[in-house]
């Protein structure tokens, strides 16, 4: 019987997000594919340094050791590399003792069709066009920033922080704020306080995490191994709709911060997430020097397409 990914939290991650391949990316961009190919083959026994998504992946994979009877997380390396240049990646996975056995090596082709094939719940990459395509296809995805100095600090819990609008929830309300201002936004949220917000690109991921948390609580675990935080620019009176929406989804967020326009950086530094997801470049820029950050593009957002990357 084939192995099923249907009931697992599946994280797809590019090789460049899992490991530090910036020097190799420069070779590909400046010298071309053949130079990149030669470099990777010549150095395939040289272990790669850690990339921006490594800490989250390692922490999530540890969940599988908590219950030998039930696997909870699967990680799939999703790369535009060909199999010919991939041995260095697999050697590095083995070196760091990561329980990763599955990979998509598309040889320069788009990765998007394979997200659904592997039931990917979250896709992490440093290539904007791949992240945008994933979001447009309905998969939660984020463009990783370079890792901060604290990225690999060992914590006793997996900690993930989310922005609200355009991340967990749709960007419907945010569009009103952007086009009509704060007063129109607050009036809209007050009038719709009893109406749950539409789902955003990360709603499905949050529900999957909440399901895992619930199972641990049901098993009597006093301190579930995953802790979540909502860090939103909203404040009263726009808080009520958020609370009622999460209640309607039967989701408990462990920590919630209604910032009311105050910078999120200090709260994030105190919470210490393995990853913070936000859609606003300004918020991401400020947070990225303190915590590992992923920017979530808007669906259908116009981007400048570059030459298709290999790593």
CA distances from 12 to 33, 85, 114, 189 (A): 24, 19, 10, 35
User: What does the block give as tokens for 221?
Assistant: 């675990």
Residue 286, φ and ψ in degrees, nearest 5:
-70, -35
Active-site pick, 129, 163, 171, 279: 163
For this structure, is 163 an active site residue? yes
Q: How far apart are CA 263 and CA 261, in angstroms?
A: 6
Distance CA 267, CA 262 (A): 10
Q: Tokens at residue 75, please?
A: 């990680």
Residues 37, 292: Cα–Cα separation, whole Å: 30
Contacts of 26 (CB under 8 A, 6+ apart): none
* CA separation for the pair 231, 260 (Å, rounded): 10
C-alpha–C-alpha distance, residues 177 and 183, integer Å = 8
Closest Cα to residue 164, out of 77, 249, 97, 288?
249
Enzyme catalytic residues: 163
């Amino acid at each position: 019987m084939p192995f099923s990914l249907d009931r697992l939290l599946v994280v797809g991650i590019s090789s460049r997000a899992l490991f530090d391949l910036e020097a190799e990316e420069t070779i590909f961009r400046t010298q071309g594919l053949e130079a990149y190919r030669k470099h990777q083959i010549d150095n395939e026994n040289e272990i790669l340094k850690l990339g921006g998504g490594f800490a989250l992946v390692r922490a999530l994979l540890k969940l599988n050791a908590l219950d030998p009877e039930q696997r909870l997380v699967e990680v799939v390396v999703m790369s535009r590399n060909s199999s010919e240049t991939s041995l260095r990646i697999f050697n590095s996975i083995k070196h760091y003792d990561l329980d990763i056995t599955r990979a998509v090596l598309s040889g320069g082709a788009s990765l998007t069709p394979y997200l659904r094939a592997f039931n990917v719940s979250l896709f992490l990459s440093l290539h904007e066009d791949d992240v945008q395509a994933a979001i447009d296809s309905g998969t939660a995805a984020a463009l990783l920033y370079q890792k901060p100095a604290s990225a690999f600090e060992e914590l006793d819990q997996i900690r993930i922080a989310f922005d609200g609008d355009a991340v967990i929830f749709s960007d419907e309300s945010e569009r009103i704020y952007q086009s009509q201002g704060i007063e129109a936004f607050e009036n809209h949220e007050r009038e719709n306080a009893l109406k749950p917000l539409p789902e955003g690109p990360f709603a499905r991921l949050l529900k999957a995490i909440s399901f895992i948390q619930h199972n641990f609580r049901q098993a009597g675990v006093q301190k579930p191994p995953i802790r979540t935080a909502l860090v939103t620019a909203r404040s009263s009176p726009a808080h009520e709709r958020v609370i009622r929406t999460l209640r309607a989804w039967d989701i408990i967020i462990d920590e919630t911060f209604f910032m009311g326009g105050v910078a999120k950086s200090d709260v994030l530094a105190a919470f210490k997430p393995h990853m913070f997801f936000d859609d606003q470049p300004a918020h991401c820029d400020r947070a990225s020097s303190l915590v590992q950050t992923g920017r979530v593009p808007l669906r259908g957002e116009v981007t400048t397409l570059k030459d298709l990357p290999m790593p």
